[in-house]
């Protein structure tokens, strides 16, 4: 298999696997965070604003892991540097 085909195959498979595996962890983490926040809201409703704000900040930090994986996947599919390099070589020849 030549270079171009190999790069394309591996990029596409890796992009899919990255986002698939990379969203499992954050989803589980966010589920636990929200359930703990809900139970503490039920125990102390007058601390609602503090709990809600802390919950949102925590969710954003957990979400950023999934965003890192999404950015890598997008780069692999749409702005793949190795693919562009190989295309430039092929059209330059």
Partner 1 sequence: MRLTPDELVFWRYGFLVLNSTIVTTWVLMLVMTVGSWLITRKLVTEVHISRWQGFLEIVVTTIQKQIKEVGLHHPERYLGFLGTLFLFIAVSNLCAIIPGYEAPTGSLSTTSALAISVFVAVPFFGIEEQGLGGYLKSYLKPTWIMLPFNIISELSRTFALAIRLFGNIMSGTMIVGILLTITPLIFPDFMYLLGLLTGMVQAYIFSILATVYIAAATRTRAE
Q: For residues 70 and 64, what is the distance between their CA atoms, to the nearest angstrom?
A: 10
Give the x/- contact pattern for partner 1 in 8-47, rule: CB under 8 A.
----------------------------------------
Cα four-point dihedral sign 64, 70, 71, 72? positive
Q: How far is the CB of 93 from partner 1 (least distance, A)?
A: 26
Check residue 6 for interaction with partner 1 (CB under 8 A): no
Cα separation, 11 vs 69, in Å, equals 14
CA atoms within 13 A on the CB side of 26: 18
Least gap, CB of 4 to partner 1 (angstroms): 20
Binding-site member from 6, 20, 28, 60 for partner 1 (CB under 8 A): 60
Query: Six-digit token pair at 47?
Result: 């601390």
Which residues form the interface with partner 1 (CB under 8 A)? 49-50, 53, 56-57, 60-61, 63-64, 67-68, 70-71, 74-75, 78-79
């Amino acid at each position: 298999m030549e270079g171009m085909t190999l790069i394309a195959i591996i990029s596409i498979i890796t992009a899919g696997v990255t986002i698939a595996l990379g969203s499992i962890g954050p989803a589980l983490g966010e589920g636990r965070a929200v359930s703990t926040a809900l139970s503490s809201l039920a125990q102390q409703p007058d601390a609602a604003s503090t709990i809600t704000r802390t919950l949102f900040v925590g969710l954003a930090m957990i979400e950023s892991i999934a965003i890192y994986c999404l950015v890598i996947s997008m780069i692999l599919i749409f702005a793949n540097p190795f693919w562009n390099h190989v295309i430039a070589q092929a059209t330059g020849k």
